[in-house]
Amino acid sequence: MATYVVTGVSRGIGYAFLGLLSRDANNTIVGLVRNKPTTDKKISEDPDLKDRTNIHILEADVTDYDALKKAAADTAEITGGSLDYLIANAGLVSPLDAYDPIGLLYDSPCTNPPPRADKPKEVDETLKSLFNVNVIGNVHLYHLFLPLILKGSAKKIIVISSGLADADFTNKYDIEPGSLYSASKAAMNMITAKFSAQYKKDGVLFLSICPGMVEVGHYKDATPEQLQGVSGLMGKFLEYAPHFKGPDTPEQSAQSVKSVWENASIEKGNGGDFLSHYGNKQWL
């Protein structure tokens, strides 16, 4: 029997976690979402999930501290005051820089190729949104649920990260797109390591895990020009990982990530680690 809190379970990998973890009727899964009625409806229409009484959906936007605080209190009521696993899955991906290098966001004479537009205000707004969701919200999430984790058995806190946050990978293969998003994930990796540094002595394992490349529809609205950029990125991915055959499904990714956190431990030296879905530094 294990208890889980997973953020962002309305779709994608989060929804896959919901299905995977609730298969064991002895588990208790609390999912945090921004829109509870919509998620409740989705679950009620899912033939695999609709009859699983061990799923509990709470409404809480990770950028709303008071909502997270209430969700922690409500979770304590559901689980009896403890928690084994906290999975910080909710995240924001920016379309602003998803396809282009950072230099194309500014009208600068040193930019090659020429910029498509001058977007300093958009950069400002995007960075604030990314850090509010991907960093600040998770800092609050960690803090508010730690009292429950400390009373749990497994004592594991996982944040879903990205291989794009690896500076060595970026530098070796000149991975240009996703600068702002990557920066927010790199910042959260460090936050996770700092929490680990403080709470490792209390038996809490903190991990950042990249789920690999997962097909969740991020590129479905891309223009032909943007898809050219994606094609170039895929070429670099194949140079990095010749075995790469394309994105995993959310279900495949969720299972891989779960295997990593199950195999990791403080005793093995994993406290604060940033790992891939393979349990190492191989991102694809």
User: Quick one: pLDDT band at residue 84, thresholds 50, 70, 90?
Assistant: very high
Among the ranges given (53-57, 69-73, 95-99), the one the predictor scored with the smallest mean pLDDT = 95-99
User: How many residues appear in the chain?
Assistant: 284
Question: Helices in the chain by DSSP H: which ranges?
Answer: 12-21, 36-44, 65-79, 120-131, 137-150, 167-173, 179-199, 224-240, 250-263
Residue numbers annotated as active site: 181, 185
* Pairwise CA distance, residues 49 & 41, whole Å: 11
- Please report, rounded to a whole number, the percentage of residues in the chain having pLDDT higher than 70: 91
Q: Give tens-digit pLDDT for 247-272.
A: 999 999 999 999 999 999 999 999 99
Higher-pLDDT residue of 207, 215:
207
CB 21, CB 6: distance < 8 Å: yes
Torsion of CA 236, 241, 242, 247, to 10 degrees: -80
Q: Give tens-digit pLDDT for 219-232.
A: 566 565 665 666 67
Higher-pLDDT residue of 110, 89:
89
* Pairwise CA distance, residues 107 & 118, whole Å: 5
What's the pLDDT score for residue 235? 83
Q: Which domains are assigned to the chain?
A: 3-275 (3.40.50.720)
User: Quick one: pLDDT band at residue 73, thresholds 50, 70, 90?
Assistant: very high
Token couple for 193: 């390591």
Among the ranges given (12-26, 38-52, 183-197, 233-247), the one the predictor scored with the smallest mean pLDDT = 233-247
What's the pLDDT score for residue 8? 98
- Please report, rounded to a whole number, the percentage of residues in the chain having pLDDT higher than 90: 80
Q: What mean pLDDT do residues 24-46 have?
A: 98
What's the pLDDT score for residue 103? 85
* Pairwise CA distance, residues 206 & 261, whole Å: 9
Show Cβ contacts of residue 193 under 8 Å, excluding neighbours closer than 6 positions: 206, 208, 272, 274
What's the pLDDT score for residue 120? 87
What's the pLDDT score for residue 227? 54
For all residues of the chain together, what is the average pLDDT?
Answer: 92
**pLDDT score of 155 more than 60:** yes
What's the pLDDT score for residue 251? 97
